Structures are given as structure tokens and as C-alpha cells.
Structure 1
């Protein structure tokens, strides 16, 4: 049986900035930048549309990274943040402000010999406005160019 030991270091991730796409329940653009040490900010602009509504949202996440021992370039991370955006209800053509609180838990991998980063995470959200709800469907895969 294999086990992974988790450890913290002062510089867990191996890149300073990354930009690319996020794909999953909501598709969009993601930009990560380091705050120093093992902390990063992830900004996500995404959209979702179905038969009843469409929305555009911008999410900011404060994330803490921790390397996984014996797996160079692989980190696990967690964090919290918030979302602001707009939702448009298609049958009535009405729009509302959207505000929410977000969490995130995921894995982040930076390829050693290429400026490529992959992240797979779960981003549950609590909608506050226009109505209170819980959305647990926030699984996403991000592919980014690092610099």
C-alpha cells in the first residue's frame, strides 16, 4: 500500500504566473499569480448557459499550495474566495446581480521541461444573491501557459 506524505515549504509551486483555460461545468479563462511563499491568487472569468439561464462570473480565489512528497511538480491546494457576476433568465429576459462565496480543493502539476501547468479541482460555491443556494458541481480542469 502506497502512501503520500504532505509537507509545506516556503515555495510550493514552481511558477510565478500562469494563464489559460478552465473547462468543466463552466468554461472560462483563468489567471494565477504568486503572492510569495506557497500562496497564489487565481482569477477565473467564466460563463455557463442552459435552456433557462446564462451567466457571466468573475471569481477570485486565495489558494495555499503544498507539495506532495516524491512527486516533483505536483502540489495539492485549498482556498477560499468570492464571485461577482450577472445572471440572465432566458424566458423572461431579466437580469440579476450574482454574488457568491467559493471554496477550492485541487491538484496542480507543472511540467518540468515545458511552460505548461495543469490543475484539476473542485470549486463548490454558495450563492448569496439573487437567491441562496449551494452548487457542488464546480469540478474543472485548467490548462495554462506559465511565465
Structure 2
């Protein structure tokens, strides 16, 4: 009987100990990945509750032939693994615009806009200093997108953010 009570007590302690740690109220930094040619994004996270947050990312591209931007927003759930390690998942979407111009051989110009739905899953480490790094996978499903040529874009990125 003592073993049963001790086991139940330890199990309850483990259950309460695995609750998500409190996430930072704000985090600002960069999210660096492929992102279909957009490369880096400015990334902002806003803590909404103890284990939920909103992430907003702005990616842009300015090259010789293509100018584009992409704005995405995701709602994320965050769970603590151990210590400073967290994993998270989220859903969201965004909008974007692109323009293409090639004046070398033939005067070719085209432009367009697109919308997309996105999911997100990743892992992060929160340091004792106000720094957080993350690695995530964000599958994106595009609508009205002539820029990409297909409707699916997998995006793997490394994030580094300052927490405040």
C-alpha cells in the first residue's frame, strides 16, 4: 500500500513537473532557411499565455530579376521537454507578392500575389541569457501562385531570437 501511494505521488509530481515553462513575452530575431528563395526572415514572437504564442515573419527577396515579399503568421502551442528544451507546433497562413523582370534577351515581365496556409513543428532551446535558438519545419500550401509553379513548399529553418 505504501508503494502504491508513493508511486501515485511520484507520478503526480512528474505530471506537474512536465507542464510547459513560461515562454517569454516577446522574442525578436531572424529565421534563416530556404523559404522558396526568400532566404532570411525577420521573426517576431509574442507570448499570449503560459504555453501559447503568436509568431509573425516577414521575408523578402531583392535580386536582379525577382523582387518579392512574404508575410506569415502562426499560432503556436509550446510544450517543455526538459529544462530549456521546448517543442512546439502551430498553424497559420500568410500573403505574398512577387515581380519578375528580365531585360537581357527578351523583355519579359510578370508579377502576382499569393496566399498560403502553413503548419509548423519545431524544437527550441532557451538559454539562461535572453537568447533562444530553434529548428523548425514549416510545410506551406500555396493558392494562386504562379511564382513557384507548384502548390506545395516545404521550409526548414534555423531561428535565433533575442527574448525580452
TM-score, normalising length: structure 2? 0.75
- Please name the residue that 2:145 is paired with: 130
Partners of 1:12 and 1:48 lie apart in 2 by 36
- For 1:36, what is the secondary structure of its paired residue? coil
Structure 1: state its 5+ residue gaps.
Answer: 1-5
Task: Give how far 1:119 is off.
Answer: 1.1
Deviation string 1:56-109 (CA, Å, 9 cap, x unpaired) is 1010000000111xx211110011101111022233332211100011110111
Larger radius of gyration, structure 1 or 2?
Answer: 2
CA 1:60 to 1:8, structure 2 compared with 1: closer, same or farther past 3 Å?
farther
Residue of structure 2 equivalent to 1:67 = 80
User: What is the rounded CA distance, in whole Å, between the counterparts of 1:116 and 1:32 in structure 2?
Assistant: 13
Give CA deviations for 1:8-53 in whole Å, capped at 9, x if unaligned.
Answer: 63x5343111001111112110000111121110000012467874
Q: Find the residue that maps to 1:108 and give its secondary structure.
A: strand
* Whole-angstrom CA distance in 2 between matches of 1:12 and 1:54: 40
Matched-pair contact (CA < 8 Å) for 1:66–1:76: yes
Q: Is the 8 A contact 1:13 1:67 kept in 2?
A: no
Query: Per residue, is there more helix in 1 or in 2?
Result: 2
Q: Is the 8 A contact 2:145 2:151 kept in 1?
A: no
Unpaired runs of 5+ residues, structure 2, are: 1-14, 103-107
Q: 1:1-147 counterparts in 2 under 5 A?
A: 9=19, 11-25=20-34, 26-48=39-61, 53-68=66-81, 71-91=82-102, 92-112=108-128, 114-131=129-146, 133-136=151-154, 138-147=155-164
Distance 2:63 2:117 in 1: 22
Q: How many residues align?
A: 138
CA RMSD of aligned residues (A): 2.4
Aligned partners of 1:20 and 1:31 also within 8 Å? yes
